[in-house]
Amino acid sequence: MKIFKKIFSGLIWVIFALTSFLMFSQKGFAVDNWTVITSVWSYEPAHSPDGNRIVYKNNNDWGKLYKKSANDTSNWTAITSAISYDPAYSPDWNWIVYVNVSKSYKLYKKSADDTSNWTAITSAWSYSLAYSPDWNWIVYRNRSDADKLYKKSADDTSNWTAITSVASHEPAHSPDWNWIVYRNENDWNKLYKKSADDTSNWTAITSVVSEHPAYSPDWNWIVYKNGDDWNKLYKKFADDTSNWTAITSVVSEHPAYSPDWNWIVYKNGDDWSKLYKKTLNIAPTISLVTSVVSYINSLNETSVPFIINWITDPDTWNILTYKYSWDWASWTDLAHTETSPKSSTTYNFNVDASGQIDWSLILRVKVSDWIGESNEVLINIDKETVLPVITIVNPWTVEAQSKILTVSANEWTLTMSLDSSWVCNWTLWFIAYSDTTFSSESDNWKTTCYKSEDTAWNISYELSNAIAWIDTTAPVWINLELWEQTFWDWFSVDATCTYSTWLKFIVKDNWVITDTVILDADCNIDYEKRWLANGLHNIEYYLEDSAWNKDNSNTFSFEVHSAWVIITPWVWNTVTPIFSITWYWTPSSVVKVYNEWNTQVIASWDTDSNWYFALQVSQSQAVWGIDIDVEVDNVKRNSPVWITIA
C-alpha cells in the first residue's frame, strides 16, 4: 500500500511538472538552468563531500539509489537493490544513510562504494534525514511519533531524542553544527530555524510555503523551493526572514549544494524531473570609474589615482581580481583582490601611465571572478607630462654696484623664493615673480629658486646662479697733493690710494673726460697736464673702480690766456744788452715788453705774424739795469728777469 502511495505521488508530480511547463512557456519565462546531468526521472540528489559524486533516487529503475559522476550525464551504478529515499552522505565520504522502503521505511547506513544494504540504524518509520557536519548525529523525521524531528547517533539503532514538538520535515544542518532549518507543517509549511541542541521551535525564516531547504557550505545562504512562486528555487540569507532572489524560473525541487559552494543540483520539474546542475555565481559588475585628478602629469604619472565605484557581486567566497588597460589589447593586473559578496562597494587604486604618450587617454577597468569578467568601464583623462621651461637671465660676472635677475617661463604661473640657500624644491615658500635687483654687497652669493606650474600641475624648479661681484665701496685717497699753475697752462696731481681691481684715475676738463689712467697695484698717482688751451678750465679729478664706485670728486678752476713765455738774455753786462723773447704762438694776441722797474713799455708786437723777437735795450732806458717782464693780452705772464746794464 505504501509503495502504491509513493507511485501515485510520483504521477501527481509528473502531471504538475507538465502543467507548470506549459504555464511557464505561456508566460514567457526564460529557462536559466544550466546543464542536464541525468537523462531519467531523478529525485533527491545528494552531493558527496568531495564534490565529485551525486547519489540520487532513480525512478526509472524502481526508485533505487544510483551513484554517478557530478560532471556528466551518464547514469552510473545502482547502489541499492530496493526502493530508497532521502540519501545523505556522511561528511567523511564513507557512508550513505537512506530510507529503505522495503524495510518498513527504516533508516539504513551503507558503504558509499558498494551495492550491499547494510545496517538498519532506526527501528521506526523514518525519513527526511540530515547528517550533522561532525559525522556523529543524524536528524530525521520520526513517523512513529507524530512526524517530529529526532536526533540520534549515527552509529547505532536507538531512537534518541525528539528535538521538535510539532510535525517537521526536511531538516538541514548548518555547516557550523549549531542550527537546523526545517519545514514546520504546523505553520503553513514555513521554514524554521532552531538550535540543534534543544527541543524549542525557534524562529520562522520564511513567510511562505517553503520546502527542501539546503544550507550553503559557507553558512550564509539557504536555498529552498518557494511554494508561493510556482515552486521556483529561491536563495536567501540564513539569518533573516526576507525572501530573497529566485534562482530558477521553473518548477524545481530537492536542491543540494556542492561542497565547493558554486553549484546546486536540483530536480527540474519542467524537464521530466531530470536532475539539473546550475551555478549560483554570476559575473561581477561595475557601475562607474572616476578619477580624483583632472590630469595625468609628471607628479602622478606612475601612480594615477582612480576609483571603481559600485562593484557588485552577490556570489559567495569568489575571489575578485581587478585589471586595467590603456589600449584595446593588453590588460594589467592590479595588486588587489577581494572576496565576494560585494554590494555597491568602491575601491581606490593607482595605475601606471608612464608608458603612454601625452594625449587624451582612455582607461578601461574590469573585475573578474572564476565565472567570468565584468562589464568594462571607461574613463577619459588627459595626460601632459612635459615640464614647463624656466629661462633665467643671470647677470654678468663683472663688478657692478647692482645686479638684476630676469626670468621667464613658457607656461602659466611663475613664482620665486628669494635667498634659497642653494635649495630649490617644494619645501620653499614662493611668492609672485618680479624682476629682482640686488644692490648690496651682502647680496653676494645669494641664490633664487624659481617655480613654474602649468595647467596640468606639472611643476618645474630652476635655481639661479649665485649673485657675485656686487661692489658698493668707493676707493679712498691716502695722500693727495695738487700742484696748480694758474698763471700758466698746466697743473699736476700727486697721490696714493687704496687699490681695487681695475681702479682708474679720471680727469675731466669742463665736464668732459680728458684722461683715464689705469692704476697698478701700487696705486700711485703722478699726473701732470700741460698745454691747456686759452680760456676757463673747470678741472675735476677722482678715483673710480670697475663697479663705477667713485671717491668724492676734487675740483678747481683757472683761466689760461697764453702759452709759455721765455725771456733769454744773449748779452749781459753791456751798455746795450740783447735778449730774446719766445712764446708759443697765440693767435690775435698782443705781446708787450715792460721795463718792470719803471713800467715803461719797451716794445710791443702783434702775434699774428710773430712768435719770436730779439730785443736790444739801451742804457738810456735804464741806469743800472732793467727788470724785463712780458704781458700777453694785458696779463703778465712770468716773473721779471733782471738784466744788468754796465
> Last residue of a domain, which of 532, 560, 588?
560
Does one domain contain both 309 and 360?
Answer: yes
Integer-rounded Cα Rg, in Å, for the chain is 61
For 18, what's the count of Cα atoms within 13 Å in the CB-facing half-sphere?
A: 5
pLDDT of residue 118 exceeding 80: no
Rounded distance between C-alpha atoms, residue 520 and residue 499, angstroms: 8
Q: Is residue 471 assigned to a domain?
A: no
Do 237 and 314 lie in one domain? The reply is no
274 and 294: one domain?
Answer: no
Beta strand spans in 62-115 (E)? 64-69, 77-78, 84-89, 95-100, 106-111
Q: Sheet holding 360-368: strands in order across?
A: 295-296, 377-383, 360-368, 319-325, 332-339
Helix/strand/coil for 567:
strand
The answer to pTM > 0.75 is no
CATH number, residue 573: 2.60.40
454 in a structural domain: yes
**Is pLDDT above 80 for 591?**
no
Residue 482 is assigned to a structural domain of this protein: yes
Query: Which pLDDT tens digit goes with each residue over 207-263?
Result: 888 888 988 877 677 888 888 888 888 877 776 666 567 777 888 888 887 776 667
Mean pLDDT of the chain: 79
Task: Determine the Cα–Cα distance for residues 402 and 435; give it in Å rounded to an integer.
Answer: 13
Instruction: Identify whether residues 242 and 95 lie together within a single domain.
Output: yes
Give the pLDDT score at 426. Answer: 93
Using alpha carbons, select from 206, 242, 241 the residue that is nearest to residue 227: 206
**Is 315 a member of any domain?**
yes
Check whether residue 53 and residue 167 sit in a common domain: yes
Q: Higher-confidence residue: 600 or 491? A: 491
pLDDT of 454 > 80? The answer is yes
**C-alpha dist (Å) from residue 263 to 47, 306, 595:** 10, 35, 149
What is the C-alpha to C-alpha distance for residues 325 and 553, in angstroms, rounded to an integer? 79
Question: Who has greater pLDDT, 581 or 95?
Answer: 95
Same domain, 338 and 403: no
Residue 116 lies in a domain: yes
Residues 271-280 pLDDT 10s: 878 878 777 6
**Do residues 110 and 65 both lie within one domain?**
yes
The answer to whether residue 470 is domain-embedded is no
Residue with cell 582612480: 306
What would the mean pLDDT of 322-338 be, rounded to a whole number? 84
Which domain covers residue 501, as residue numbers? 477-560
pLDDT of residue 628: 66
Average pLDDT of 625-636?
64
Question: In this structure, is residue 472 part of a structural domain?
Answer: no
**pLDDT tens by residue, 4-27:** 333 434 443 333 333 333 332 322
DSSP annotation string for 526-547: EEEE--PPSEEEEEEEEEE-TT
The span from the CA of 164 to the CA of 169, in Å, is 10
Domain boundary among 279, 302, 331: 279
Q: Are residues 17 and 123 in the same domain?
A: yes
User: Is the confidence at residue 453, as pLDDT, over 90?
Assistant: yes
| pLDDT class of 81 with cuts at 50, 70, 90 | confident
CATH number of the domain to which 364 belongs = 2.60.40.10
DSSP letters, 474-506, are: PP-EEEEEEEEETTTTEEEEEEEE---TT-EEE
Highest mean pLDDT pick, 453-467, 480-494, 528-542, 588-602: 453-467
Residues 110-138 have a mean pLDDT of 82
Residue 289 and residue 274 in one domain: no
Instruction: Report how many domains make up the chain.
Output: 5
425 pLDDT tier (thresholds 50, 70, 90): very high
Based on the fold, state whether residues 449 and 552 are members of the same structural domain: no
pLDDT bracket for residue 451 (50, 70, 90): very high
517 and 630 together in one domain: no
Instruction: Report how far residue 618's alpha carbon sits from residue 622's, in angstroms, rounded to the nearest whole number.
Output: 7
Q: How far apart are CA 111 and CA 87, in angstroms?
A: 12
Residue 585 confidence (pLDDT) above 50:
no
Give the domain-ending residue among 516, 537, 560: 560
Q: CA–CA distance from 448 to each of 1, 11, 43 (Å)?
A: 106, 97, 87
Residue 89 lies in a domain: yes
Mean pLDDT computed over 39-66: 87
pLDDT for position 227: 87
| Mean pLDDT in residue range 475-497 | 76
Q: Which has more confidence, 480 or 84?
A: 84
Residues 376 and 399 in one domain: no
Instruction: Give the CATH number, domain containing residue 137.
Output: 2.120.10.30
